[in-house]
Amino acid sequence: MQRVFYLFLFNVLLFPATAQLRHITGMVTDENRQPLPFVNLYIEGTIEGTTSGDDGRFEWITEQKGELTLIASFVGYKTGTVKIKADTLNPAPLNIQLLPQLQAVKEVVAYAGNYLLKSASTLEQKDAVNLITTAGSEGNLFRAISLMPGAQAPGLDGRMMVRGGDSRESQTYIDGMHLLSPYTASAQHMPARSRFSAFLFDGITFSTGGYSQEYTQSLSSILPLTTSDESNLSKLGAKLMNVGPGGGGTKAWNKGSVSFNFDYTDMQWYHTTTNPRQGKFWETPYREYAGQSLLRFQLRKDTYWKTFLSYTGTLFTHYEETPFSRTIRELGYDEGNLYLNSTFRTRLSGGVSFFGGLAYSLNKRTIEEAVKKNDRLLTRERELHLKARAGKRFSSFYKLELGIESYDRGYGMQYRDSSFFEKDISHRISGLFVSNDFNLTGRLFLNLSSRLEYISSAQSYALLPRLALSYEWKGLNISGVIGKYQQMTDNDYLIYNPSLPAETNRQYLLGFYFRDKNRIYRAEGYHKTYDRLPAFRNRQYEASGSGYSRGIDLFVNERRLLKYWEYTISYSYNDSQREYLDYPERAEPPFVSRHNASFTLRYENMKWRSLIGITNRFASGRPYHDPNKEGFMNAHTPAYNTLDMSWTLLAHKNLIIYACFSNILNRRNVFGYDFSPLPDSKGFYGSLPLRQEQNQAFYLGFFLTLGKNVAYEASNF
pLDDT tens per residue across span 200-212: 888 788 888 888 8
578 burial type by CB count under 10 A (0-12 exposed, 13-18 middle, 19+ buried): buried
Q: Count the neighbouring beta carbons within 10 Å of the beta carbon of residue 28.
A: 27
Chain-centroid distance, C-alpha 92: 45
- At a CB cut-off of 8 Å and minimum separation 6, what does 353 contact? 111, 345, 346, 347, 390, 391, 392
Distance CA 63, CA 84 (A): 14
Q: Which domains does the chain have, with CATH numbers?
A: 3-100 (2.60.40.1120), 124-706 (2.40.170.20)
Q: Residue 120's pLDDT is what? A: 32
Chain-centroid distance, C-alpha 285: 27
Q: Residue 6's pLDDT is what? A: 36
Q: Residue 583's pLDDT is what? A: 95
Question: Please, what are the averages of pLDDT over each run of 10 residues along the chain (717 residues)?
Answer: 38 37 81 79 72 81 76 76 70 78 35 28 54 76 86 88 93 95 85 86 84 91 89 86 91 91 90 69 89 94 94 92 80 95 92 95 94 90 97 88 96 91 94 93 89 95 94 85 94 92 94 83 93 93 95 88 84 96 94 94 80 93 94 95 91 85 92 91 91 87 75 59
Nearest alpha carbon to residue 27 among 98, 87, 90, 79 = 98
Q: Residue 564's pLDDT is what? A: 81
Q: Count the neighbouring beta carbons within 10 Å of the beta carbon of residue 274.
A: 14
Q: Is 399 helix (H, G, I), strand (E, B) or coil?
A: strand
Residue type, 381: E
Q: Dihedral (C-alpha) 433, 439, 440, 441: value to the nearest 10 degrees?
A: 160
* Type and span of the H or E element at 271: helix 268-274
Q: Is 426 helix (H, G, I), strand (E, B) or coil?
A: strand
pLDDT tens per residue across span 105-162: 333 232 222 323 223 334 455 556 666 677 878 778 888 888 888 999 888 888 999 9
420-454: string of b/e by CB count within 10 Å (b at 16+)? eeeeebebebbbebebebebeeeeebebebbbebe
**CB of 50 within 8 A of CB of 119?**
no
Q: Residue 9's pLDDT is what? A: 35
3-state secondary structure 211-238: CCCCCCCCCCEEEEEECCCCCCCCEEEE
- At a CB cut-off of 8 Å and minimum separation 6, what does 347 contact? 302, 303, 353, 354
